[in-house]
Amino acid sequence: MKQSITKKILAGGTAAIFALFTTGCGNAQAPVASSGTPAVIEANAADKEEITAENFSLDNVGPFTIRVGVNSGDGNQYLKILDDHTSFLKDRGIDLQTTEFAAGINTIDAITTGQLDVGLFADYAGVNRIGNTLKDTELRAFAMINKTNNNYLYVNPETIKEPKDLEGATAISMAGVVVEYDYGKLFEIYDVDKSKVNIVNVSSAQEALALAASNGADSYWANVQVAPKFEEAGWTPLLSIGDVNATMYTFLVANQSYLDEHKAEVAKYLAVSEEAFAYIEENLDEFAGWVETDLGLKKDLVISGWNAVNLVYTFPQEAYEDLLSVEKWCYNNGNFPTDYDFTGFINTDALSLVDPEKVTWQAK
């Protein structure tokens, strides 16, 4: 089984650059304060009538600033790099200001405190945070970024031969992020007694790696960007999140008030982002060189990662049903006291302006 998983990792490898695994367990440093200001909207024709997909025009949206939280190597960070080198977004009237965070859940915190306009989260992290802040939260998922199974349980092969061996072992987790869900699903499927697992929470992949290197733990869910470091420490992959029925969906998120007040601007950002992704596709070699210079990611890694994914914002039925399923799991497992319907925490109005066919979810 381990041999098969290793082949999958090598095959899917660098797609993780865009898979936003760091929404669950990032490896960036602490966030740097944004120098941006809240979105500034100039008067435009779209403000004078109800905006619909039929009358929406990118040209009618005045210049604006948008503050977006990113994780290392994700699509929005790539947009910023493109804009820094070509003014692709600036020339369309979009001042994109980004702040990097260690995990997607941290971008939710920054939205709540007014530091950001737009953030991101993995399904479990968003569902869990909303479930624990029902009376106060304004958060709304407004576009699906990606779905993936490319997250793997790396283990010390001297202590963990099979999932059941986690009993009596030390498992590295992160509070409030998707690895909690991954472990929970694993415990259910493989009948592992959670009370017998010593769970240690860390705040970054670097901390997890330090524990692995010092034989201070036995397992950790790693994405393929950080997996090589765990392999250097002698750890090997045992399972993928797909093996425990924990396929991860990631989403863009903002406050309801922001989406209501700036629907046209958010729609333009989504539309121009996809135009920018198309530009990157056509100029990939040059762009990969910029990423290597700016982020330190090797050029061939950037190219192979880009070719492995298709960056298009949508909101399909399967993403909606995943959120419902994760909410039910969280409630049943005591994550929060009130069973709630995630339907009320989705707002795809802006995405529908870009193209109604991108929005195929229907409330149950």
Domain residue extents for the chain: 2-11+150-244, 31-149+248-358
b (16+ CB within 10 A) / e for 236-245 = bbbbbbebbe
- Position 21 scores a pLDDT of 37
The residue whose two tokens read 């472990």 is 183
- Position 326 scores a pLDDT of 98
Cβ(113)–Cβ(82) under 8 Å?
A: no
pLDDT (average), residues 189-217? 95
CATH topology identical between 2-11+150-244 and 31-149+248-358: yes
Q: Which two tokens stand for residue 118?
A: 């737009």
- Distances, alpha carbon 324 to alpha carbons 2, 249, 282, 313, 341, in Å: 32, 12, 38, 20, 7
Q: Which class is 31-149+248-358 in CATH?
A: alpha beta
- Position 218 scores a pLDDT of 98
Beta-carbon contacts of 162 under 8 Å, excluding residues fewer than 6 positions away, are 190, 238
The DSSP bridge partners found for residue 218 are none
CATH no., domain 2-11+150-244: 3.40.190.10
Please count the other Cβ atoms lying within 10 Å of the Cβ belonging to residue 191: 9
pTM of the model: 0.86
Which of 40 and 164 is assigned the larger pLDDT? 164
- Position 29 scores a pLDDT of 34
Cβ(176)–Cβ(126) under 8 Å?
A: no
- Position 6 scores a pLDDT of 53
How would residue 338 be classed by pLDDT, with cut points 50, 70 and 90? very high
> What is the rounded distance in angstroms from the CA atom of residue 144 to the CA atom of residue 252?
6
